[in-house]
Every structure is written in C-alpha cells, then in structure tokens.
Structure 1
C-alpha cells in the first residue's frame, strides 16, 4: 500500500466537512478502481468509492512533493457513476 499526504487547513477542511468526512475523502484516494483526469490549473477530478462504499466526485490539486489539497467534494451523480463503472 502506498501513502498519500493531504493538506488540510481551516479553509478546505470546513468546506469539505460540509459534504463528507475527511476520513471518507482520504479513503477514496486508495480506491483501486478510482478514475482520474486532469483539468486545468493543475487540478484533477477523481471519481472514487470510499472504504464505506460511498461514491464521491473529488476535485483536488497536486502540490510539490506529491501533497494532495482537496478543493471540492460531492456525491457522484448518475452520469458520474456510469463513468466510474466503465472499464
């Protein structure tokens, strides 16, 4: 298993905790079926399932040293789930 370091501060921690627990979000990054694509401004979108089975749409930034800063989280919608289930 690999280790991922996350950057949490008052700004993103409060915003994210309104939609999901930080533990849920972190567990989603270890999903072996996670789908990720790069967008703009060095941001990424991942469709992933948490260890508790919840499906999340996660927007984040990769920072120097491989640190992940989560920007936004929401539950996947129907279309997101279809994309996640594709091989």
Structure 2
C-alpha cells in the first residue's frame, strides 16, 4: 500500500469517526415546548426538559393517546432528544 493511499484511507476513517460524534443536546425554551405540546394535542406545560438531563423530553400527562406519543417521540428524535412518558395519576377527591 502506498503512503498516499494509506493517507487517504486514514483521512476517510477519521472523517467517518468524527461524523459519528453526537452533538450535545440543547435546551429548548418553554415557548418552543408549548408549541410542540399544542401541536401534538397536549396542554400547555405538559412537555418539559430538565436542565440536568437535557437529552430527555418529559411528557407529564395521564394516559397520552398513541398519536400523542408518536408525535412527541418524532419531534424528540428529530431534535436529538429521548422522549420519556411520565404517567401522572391524580388522586380522586374524597366524596362527602
């Protein structure tokens, strides 16, 4: 193998390795998350992104529909995030 071919192969491998590096997750502001929530049929404030776990997109909703889950998961994937669905069960009011 000639030095020139070896160099080209090395550059190609390095470029491939660098392109595989994941970009760090960025924080989305509340307005962006609310737009996504409304677009997916959720209420304002039901999508959150915690600063300590930027890669997680948390959905706080009691029993989201399959279409809502798909919508949120697709948006999360497109933005380098992992969708997490937290099922919130609110206690019932005691009957008097």
Please report the TM-score for the alignment, with normalisation by the length of structure 1: 0.27
Please report the TM-score for the alignment, with normalisation by the length of structure 2: 0.26
Larger radius of gyration: 2
Bigger strand share? 1
Bigger helix share? 2
